[in-house]
Amino acid sequence: MDKLIINGGCPLKGEVRISGSKNATLPILAATLLTDETCVIRNVPRLLDTHTMVKLLKSLGKRVDWDKDRIIVMSNGPVNPVADYKLVSTMRGSICVLGPLLTKLGEAKVSLPGGCVIGVRPVDLHQKGIEALGAKVTTEGGYILARAKKLKGARVYLAGASGPSVLGTANIMMAATLAQGETIIECAACEPEVEELANFLNEMGARIRGHGSPRIVIQGVKRLHGADYRMCFDRIEGGTFVLLAAMARANFVIRDIDYSQLTALDDVLGHIGVRVQAERNLVRVKAPKVLKPFSITTYPYPGFPTDLQAQYTAIMSLTNGVSVIRDTVFPDRFMHIAELSRMGARIRREGGSAIVEGVKALSGAPVTASDLRASAALVMAGLVAKGRTEIRRVYHLDRGYENIDKKLIDLGACISREKE
C-alpha cells in the first residue's frame, strides 16, 4: 500500500483539470452488457474503481480495450451471468451489473457489494425494483440471485429511508430498457450521473424520458445497439478542488468543471464568504482571510452532496465559530472526525451530526484514510496544516481521484507518494 507525505503551507497556484466522472463511468460501463455490439466510452478517468469495473466486464465475458482515456467494450462470446465476490466485494458500483445481466440474459447472480465503510448501504431498493418488473429474487451465500423469462414494465416507487437510491435508479432503469411495455420510476434519483446514464442508454436506442427529474419513464425496446459516448466531468472532484482553493486561499484556475451541477455548494460558499467566478467550464475561487462558520445538512441532489461532506467538515475546522454538519444520506459517514482531530481540529459527533468548533490552525500528523471522501478531506487538511502530514491507506483516494498527487504537485503542493 502507498502513503502520501505532505508538507503543509506551500502556496498553490496555476490550473487544474477535472477528470471524467467516476460515478457516471461505472454504471455506463455496466450498461454495455445490454448489447452485443461495440461501445466506445471517452473521457474515462483512470481510477482503481474503473480498473475494477473493467476486470468485472472481462470476467463476465466482454472484451475490453483501454487506451488513455478511451475504453472500447466488445463482444467476446456468451456473457457469464455470475458477478464474482472477489471483484464486486471491493466496489459498491459493481451492483449495477444486476439489472443489465437480468434483462439481457434472464438471470443474474451478483455478489453483495462492498466499497467504502461509511455506514449501512442496503440493496433492498434494487431488489424491490426488479421484483416489480417480474423477477424472482433470493439471497443465498452472499449473492443476489434473480431470474425472469422476460421482464415486464411496471410502476416502481424507489424512495428509501434516506431518499432515492442513485444506483437503485440506475439498475432499474437499465433493466427496464429491454422489458416489455412501459416502466415508470417514481421518486427516482435526480443526480447528474443518472441523467448521464440515461443519455448513454438513449444513444444505444433506449426510449427514456424524464431523467433528471423524480419521475423517469422507460418504454422497453427489443434490442440495444452500440454507441460512442463522451463522459461528463466529475462534479465531486470539481467540488473538492473548489473547497481546497477556498481552504488554502489559493489562486488557481479549475478547468473542465460544470459548476451548474454544484448549486448547493455555491450557495453554501456564499454564506462562508467565498466568491466563485464561473465561466463556461472554468472556475476561479476567491476566499477571505477568515471564513465564516455555516451549518449544513446533506440531501440527495440537488441538495448538498454527501460526497462533499467530509471536505466541508475539514474547511469548517478553520473558521471563527461553530458549525453543525448533519448527514441525512449516510448518517454514519463521520470516520474522518477522529483523524482531523489528530491534526488539531475540534470536532465532536452527536448522533448523525458533527459539531465543529473552528481553530486558528491545524498541525501535521500521521493519519489513516478510512474511505474515499475522508481521504480527500485529510489531503486538504494536510496541505494547509503546519508541518508534515502522513496519510496512510491512500488506495481509498485512488478509487475516486485520478492522479490527484500529480495534479497537486503541478499546483505547487509539497506532496510525495511512498510505499508503506
Which of these ranges, 45-49, 111-115, 170-174, 415-419, has the smallest mean pLDDT?
A: 111-115
pLDDT score of 97: 96
Percent of the chain clearing pLDDT 70 (strictly above): 98
Are 286 and 277 in contact by the 8 Å Cβ rule? The answer is yes
Please, what is the angle between helix 22-31 and helix 48-59, to 10°?
Answer: 10
Can you name the residues that pair with 156 across neighbouring β-strands? 185
With residues binned 3-state (H G I as helix, E B as strand, rest as coil), the percentages for the chain, rounded to 5, are 35, 30, 35
pLDDT band with cut points at 50, 70 and 90 for residue 211: very high
Structural domains present in the chain: 2-18+234-419 (3.65.10.10), 22-222 (3.65.10.10)
Mean pLDDT across 296-318: 97
Mean pLDDT across 96-114: 93
Q: Is the pLDDT of residue 58 over 90?
A: yes
pLDDT score of 119: 46
pLDDT score of 122: 67
Residue 145's contacts (CB-CB under 8 Å, 6 or more residues apart) are: 108, 109, 137, 138, 139
Which of these ranges, 88-92, 235-239, 290-294, 400-404, has the smallest mean pLDDT?
A: 88-92
pLDDT score of 120: 45
pLDDT band with cut points at 50, 70 and 90 for residue 352: confident
pLDDT band with cut points at 50, 70 and 90 for residue 353: very high
pLDDT score of 73: 98
5-34 CB burial, b ≥16 within 10 A, e <16: bbbbebebeeebbbbbbbbbbbbbbbbbbb
Number of neighbours of residue 140 by Cβ within 10 angstroms: 8
Residue-wise pLDDT tens digits, 229-288 = 999 999 999 999 999 999 999 989 999 999 999 999 999 999 999 999 999 899 999 999
Q: Is the pLDDT of residue 116 over 60?
A: no
Mean pLDDT across 328-345: 94
Mean pLDDT across 295-306: 97
> Does residue 209 sit in helix, strand or coil?
strand
Q: What is the pTM of this model?
A: 0.95
Q: Is the pLDDT of residue 420 over 60?
A: yes
Q: Is the pLDDT of residue 297 over 60?
A: yes
Q: Is the pLDDT of residue 117 over 70?
A: no
Question: Which residues are catalytic, by number?
Answer: 116
**What is the rounded end-to-end Cα distance, in angstroms, of the chain?**
6
pLDDT band with cut points at 50, 70 and 90 for residue 114: low
